[in-house]
Amino acid sequence: MTAPTQIAEAFREGKTYDHVFAKSEALFLGWTEAFAPVLADHEVIEVESEFTYPLLNPETEAASRTFVEAGKIDGLLRHKASGRLRLLEHKTTGDGLEPDSDYWPKLAMDSQISGYILGLHHRGFEVNDVLYDVVRKPAHRPSNIPLLDDTGTKIVLDASGQRVRTKDGKKWRESADSALGYVLQTREETPVEYHRRVLGEMRENPAKYFVQKEIPRLDSDLLEYMQDAWAISQQVLYFRKAGLWPRNPSACTAFGTCEFFALCSGRASVDGVRFRPKQKAHSELETVPGELEFLTNSRKSALRKCSRYHFLRYEEPTEPVSEQEEALRIGTIFHALADLWLRTFIKPQS
């Protein structure tokens, strides 16, 4: 198996190593250390495998003529001691992961887990629990580092750019004073320095940043999931038939600002300047849709959030021209690295 640092170095090649990249890489390296004992107890069967299965009407058991369920699991593990199969899901979050955090009760209703377990059942894998692996992103931001002179003394300049001495004139002043216009001279922490600081923080407090929990799924949970999925598919068809995709202003700034805020509030249009048509609605999947549309977990979440959001993501796929926002980029880089590392544990079929 390849060392995580080698995987990170190879992945970094040719890419811009900025602060977001540095933080994502620190998350990955810290996580491999925290996750190693879990891996020692498991075999890795699959990583990032995609599935589709019929969306069923829970009353009649007839398959939808418009949608199929689709998705991609992070991993499938086998517990070595018991032989039990477990779905592996990893997430990055800014939320606290303490035992009394709201993060955990929400998982009882998490539709993604149930949908993925059903996806595995359809592929013939008997899986009834999930190893939910969560990485908390440290809130640390790149800091400003004081510039030092040849003697290791900090540098403070006044409004005219002259270096400032202490009151008695014996030493150089080393602290700022905004009222007097004294400014401490600094430089931005480099991505490499930032990476070391973030990784050091996680290594000192692993329990704060890395938590794994087993989440069971009962048959009743799966049935409820199927009812929810069917109901959402019917809502999509209703909005589509009516040609109406109402906005939900309560959701525009509920979890950070929605990526389509400028569009919906009439300050931009899909003209290639701030927004452009997106080539592929389900860019996370390599499987190409056949005659039936994919109903993924992201798609269901989009409709729950706001029907206009669903329209812009899946009916007339649209994307902002600007760079991916930081949280999304961190999650994408972390998942890509975790995927590469976990693949090195898959035993070749004899």
Which of 39, 55, 50 lies closest to 283 in space, CA to CA?
Answer: 50
Residue 317 token pair:
């796929």
- Minimum Å distance from CB 244 to ligand SF4? 13
x/- track of binding to ligand SF4 for residues 188-227 (CB under 6 A): ----------------------------------------
Q: Which position among 63, 107, 264, 270 is part of the footprint of ligand SF4 (CB under 6 A)?
A: 264
Using CB under 6 A as the binding rule, whether residue 260 contacts ligand SF4 is answered as yes
What is the size of the binding site for ligand SF4 (CB under 6 A)?
A: 12
For residue 88, which amino acid is it? L
Shortest distance, position 147 Cβ to ligand SF4, whole Å: 43
Query: Among the candidate windows 60-68, 112-120, 245-253, 316-324, which touches ligand SF4 by CB under 6 A?
Result: 245-253
Calculate ∠ Cα 222-81-340, nearest 5°. 70
Strands 63-79 and 293-295: parallel
CA atoms lying within 13 Å on the CB side of residue 68: 16
| In contact, 174 and 163? CB cutoff 8 Å | no
One-letter identity of residue 170: K
Whether the Cβ atoms of residue 188 and residue 144 lie closer than 8 Å to each other: yes
Of 50 and 316, CB closest to ligand SF4: 316
Residue 11 DSSP code:
H
Binding residues for ligand SF4 restricted to 309-338, rule: CB under 6 A: 309, 312
49 belongs to the binding site for ligand SF4 (CB under 6 A):
no
User: Residue 251, interface with ligand SF4 (CB under 6 A)?
Assistant: yes
Q: Which stretch binds ligand SF4 (CB under 6 A): 39-47, 74-82, 135-143, 246-254?
A: 246-254
Residues 6+ apart with CB under 8 A from 292: 64, 65, 66, 67, 68
Among 29, 73, 164, 252, binds ligand SF4 (CB under 6 A): 252
What residues from 149 to 188 belong to the interface with ligand SF4 (CB under 6 A)? none
Region from 87-95, 103-111, 230-238, 256-264 binding ligand SF4, contact rule CB under 6 A: 256-264
In terms of CB distance, is 182 or 261 closer to ligand SF4?
261
21 vs 314 by CB, closer to ligand SF4: 314
Are 307 and 1 in contact by the 8 Å Cβ rule? The answer is: no
Is-contact 18 190, C-beta < 8 A?
Answer: no
Instruction: Check: CB of residue 182 under 8 Å from CB of residue 153.
Output: no
- Determine which residue in the list 51, 308, 334, 337 makes contact with ligand SF4, applying CB under 6 A: 308
Q: State the residues that interact with ligand SF4 by CB under 6 A.
A: 247-248, 251-252, 258, 260-261, 264, 306, 308-309, 312
